[in-house]
Amino acid sequence: MKNNNLSVILIGVLTLVIVVLGSLVYVFQKDSVMLTSNIYNEVDSQLNWVNDSAIVIEKRLESVNDNKKYKIKIKLPTINIYKWIEVSWVEYKIISEEDKIKVHYIYDNNGIEYFQLIRDDIGKLIFDDTRPIIVLDAGHGGMDRGGGSNNLWDEKDMVLKITLKQRDLLKDSDIRVILTRDEDEYITLFDRCAIINYIEPEILISNHINRFNGTAKGIEVIYNRTANVEFAWDLANALSTHGIDVFRVWNRKDDSFTSMDYYALHKYTYTNSYILEYGFADNERDAKIITDKWEDMAKTVVKMIENYFE
């Protein structure tokens, strides 16, 4: 008798648990807010944002429990799928408006890993254009002025000018250009790498200006392990026609992983990457030439890029 009662109670409890769990799962899929209100605080619902060709973040929610994780719902409009991904921090951003590819990025502490996940789902849908894609990266930005600054310019501004010029020159070409930034804003190296890995460009050009202690001068090109060494030299030699000699063209390896690249943009991206240092900001002659001829130098790089894809 007792056993029977126990069984009935157990079955009853189990049924209740199953029903509750089932409805939770249902609610979870059906409506984010209903379930998440128990676990998450809604941090910002103003992130709602609609576009034909990009990821839409529907909600930004903050975990009540550990105060660390956000749960976000992203919509992939072209295939109409909703997906839940847990990240520790999230933000979206328009990278390129002109090309009408609205690239948005979401970042957390493992930015790169996360981007691979999205890329698998929508990469091909967004980038069904057959033209080669390149990423032009203007170094530094925002609070990061850049070491290659002097009393004539901040590195972040000069390299942005060069980058925007290059983008404009390539506007009507058969090459698609995506920028990591097109204004004075701070983007972490991890974000840059995430953007680049998301886009999977054929090449990456990262624009910089050097600075040492006044004794160094010249153009420097640092390429990564998969890059075309000849193209790296072509870039340096072509740039040197404006009056700044080639300082060096090289690939720096990580001391702890001899087969790995050293610089983050090289090391954490999967593309052929070239860091261009247009000269030394603290060398008077280099600085003068960059000030006078930055547009020509930008043009030269564009020409070399066009040659590369011919």
Residues forming the site for Zn ion (CB under 5 A): 139, 146, 208
Which residues 6+ apart lie within 8 Å of 249 measured at CB?
Answer: 220, 221, 222, 223, 229, 232, 233, 236
- What b/e string do you get for 254-283 counting C-beta neighbours within 10 Å, with b at 16 or more? eeeeeeebebebbbbbebbbbbbbbbbbbb
Closest-by-Cβ residue to Zn ion is 208
- Is 139 or 201 the residue whose CB approaches Zn ion more closely? 139
Q: Rounded to the nearest whole angstrom, what is the least distance from the CB of residue 148 to Zn ion in the complex?
A: 5
The Cα–Cα gap between 77 and 250 comes to 43
- Is 206 or 300 the residue whose CB approaches Zn ion more closely? 206
- Is 86 or 144 the residue whose CB approaches Zn ion more closely? 144
The Cα–Cα gap between 146 and 144 comes to 6
Helix 284-309 crosses helix 229-240 at what angle (to 10 degrees)? 130
Nearest residue to 156 via CA among 140, 169, 170, 167: 140
- Is 162 or 194 the residue whose CB approaches Zn ion more closely? 162
- Is 25 or 152 the residue whose CB approaches Zn ion more closely? 152
Q: How many CB atoms lie within 10 A of CB 141?
A: 23
Q: Rounded to the nearest whole angstrom, what is the least distance from the CB of residue 220 to Zn ion in the complex?
A: 11
Q: Rounded to the nearest whole angstrom, what is the least distance from the CB of residue 146 to Zn ion in the complex?
A: 5
Which value, to the nearest 10 degrees, does the dihedral of the CA atoms of residues 167, 170, 172, 176 take?
A: -80
- Is 208 or 217 the residue whose CB approaches Zn ion more closely? 208
- Is 206 or 271 the residue whose CB approaches Zn ion more closely? 206
Q: Rounded to the nearest whole angstrom, what is the least distance from the CB of residue 63 to Zn ion in the complex?
A: 37
Relative to beta strand 272-280, strand 203-210 is: parallel
Q: Rounded to the nearest whole angstrom, what is the least distance from the CB of residue 277 to Zn ion in the complex?
A: 7
Q: Rounded to the nearest whole angstrom, what is the least distance from the CB of residue 207 to Zn ion in the complex?
A: 8
Which residues 6+ apart lie within 8 Å of 307 measured at CB?
Answer: 234
Q: Rounded to the nearest whole angstrom, what is the least distance from the CB of residue 280 to Zn ion in the complex?
A: 11
